[in-house]
Amino acid sequence: MSEYLAYIKYEGKLVKDGYLDARKSAEILIGIDEIIRFYLFQENKDSAKLDIDIPIRVQKGSWMAILPPDLTLWIVTAIGAGITAYGATALNTIAKNDFKDVTSKDIAKKIVKGIKWTIEIIKHIKKKKVKQFPDSKIELREGIQMVGIPNEKGELLFVPIEYLELYTKVPEKLLDKLTKQIEEERELEIDFNEQFKGDLDDTGEPAKISYGQKQLFYEEKEDDEILFPELKHGMYVELEGHLTRGNEKTNTLGFEYQNHILTCIPYEGSIRSEKQTLFSNCTIKGYVDRLSKDGTFKEKRPIIRYMEIENNDEEKPSLFG
């Protein structure tokens, strides 16, 4: 792609030939997808349903994911991939630039600025999540309302108020898949292409995370495994198990599958129609959903949005009628 809006790249000796292994590359791209969905979700909830294609540029000395200059390009890609009816509303909304009366290019730039400011805030205060800043200082700079937030040394970082508000909404693990791949000789950098730099509400510099700063963003955990990784988001499945509970208030069922309880939600309608299959051995048929309310993926535990439940305990007709 000759023209691009911004990049998310890894540099250093570990990518001196421009490569990351397939598993790391895939995890990074999923992480970028989650981040984009989160920031899109802040503008329009339906936008999280879109399929997003992220181009990659590999060159000597770096591995780089490229963000197109306009969300329209992502929309066209979604159309080409055969977007489902589930995402049609979101597609039409974005296509009409119905994001609080701003253009899709503005939204694309806001995503990048949101990521950059989040990184700079975490580096400044050395915390992934802070909800309130009681000792902050507010200033108006060139028409932009800025909030000066102090760190442990009393130093102020001035952040546009809209990006500080976004930071307070960011899930703690949103950047995990990107920062997990940082090593002593592989650093992360995010910034705009040269022709798109210069906005007054931008950080003004590339957002970089070194190996020494990795611990601020990512913490290794023993229970970092995904439950049933073979059940991919959007996959059609037919799973055999046992219905253990029903909750009409949340319109959910509990489904015991391979010694784990999965939450199941009807694709449409109410669980009341499943009273005959409750507490039975059954086959549940539907689609895997790993998308959370904030637009990121619930990778660790899938939800099943079912269309049909087949009772496997029903008495079968005798051979002799």
Q: Is residue 34 part of a domain?
A: yes
pLDDT tens-digit readout, 240-299? 999 988 888 889 998 989 878 899 999 888 998 888 888 888 999 999 998 876 666 666
pLDDT score of 73: 58
Does pLDDT of 194 surpass 60? yes
Residue 272, in any domain of the structure? yes
Residue 14 CB neighbour total at 10 angstroms: 17
Q: Do 186 and 268 belong together in one domain?
A: no
Which residues, in sequence order, are CB contacts of 306 under 8 Å at separation 6+? Answer: 253, 264, 265, 266, 267, 284, 285, 286
User: Where a domain ends, among 171, 189, 217?
Assistant: 217
- Residue 243 in any domain: the answer is yes
pLDDT the model gives residue 274: 87
pLDDT level of residue 230 (50, 70, 90 thresholds): very high
Q: How far is CA 275 from the centre of its chain?
A: 35
The CATH number covering residue 262 comes to 2.40.50
160 vs 129, which has greater pLDDT?
A: 160
Find the mean pLDDT for residues 204-217: 94
Q: Quick check: is 306 in a domain?
A: yes
Q: Within this chain, do residues 18 and 72 fall inside the same structural domain, yes or no?
A: yes
301 & 184 share domain: no
CA–CA distance, 112 with 260 (Å, rounded to integer):
38
| Chain centre distance of CA 293 | 10
Q: Is 209:217 a contact under the CB 8 Å cutoff?
A: yes
Last residue of a domain, one of 184, 217, 250: 217
- Strand (E) positions, 134-289? 137-141, 144-150, 156-160, 187-192, 207-209, 236-247, 252-257, 260-266, 281-289
Going by their DSSP bridges, the two strands 303-311 and 281-289 should be labelled as: antiparallel
Asked if 121 and 252 sit in the same domain, the reply is no
Q: Are residues 211 and 254 in the same domain?
A: no
pTM: predicted TM-score of the whole model, two decimal places:
0.64
Are 259 and 118 part of one and the same domain? no
Q: Does residue 11 sit in the same domain as residue 71?
A: yes
pLDDT score for 192: 95
| 229 belongs to a structural domain | no
Q: What pLDDT, on the 0 to 100 scale, is given for residue 83? A: 42
β-pairing verdict for 260-266 and 303-311: parallel
What number is the average pLDDT over the span 16-29?
Answer: 80
Q: Are the C-beta atoms of 245 and 263 separated by less than 8 Å?
A: no
Q: What is the dihedral of CA 97, 100, 103, 108, to 10 degrees?
A: -100
Domain total of the chain: 2
Q: Percent of the chain scored above 90 by pLDDT?
A: 41
Same-domain check for residues 269 and 167: no
Q: Give domain status of residue 176, yes or no.
A: yes
- Helices of type H across 18-154: 22-43, 71-80, 88-95, 104-125
The pLDDT, as a whole number, for residue 99 is 43
Residue 239 confidence class, pLDDT cut points 50, 70, 90 = very high
Q: Assess if residue 139 is contained within a domain.
A: no
Share of the chain above pLDDT 70, in %: 76
Question: Which stretch of 29-33, 100-104, 147-151, 181-185 has the lowest confidence by average pLDDT?
Answer: 100-104
Q: In angstroms, rounded to a whole number, what is the distance separating the alpha carbons of residues 310 and 295?
A: 31
Domain that holds residue 303: 236-311
Looking at the structure, do residues 65 and 125 belong to the same domain, yes or no?
yes
The answer to whether residue 149 sits within a structural domain is no
Residue-wise pLDDT tens digits, 143-157: 999 999 999 999 999
Which helix (H) or strand (E) segment is 162 a member of?
helix 161-169
CB atoms within 10 A of CB 72: 16
Q: Per-residue pLDDT tens for 79-114?
A: 444 444 434 444 455 445 444 445 667 878 898 999
Note whether 265 and 301 are same-domain residues: yes
- Tell me how far the alpha carbon of residue 54 is from its chain's centroid: 13
What CA–CA distance (Å, rounded) separates 314 from 33? 44
Q: Does 245 share its domain with 300?
A: yes
Whole-number average pLDDT of the chain: 81
What confidence score (pLDDT) does residue 310 get? Answer: 92
Residue 30 shares a structural domain with residue 117: yes
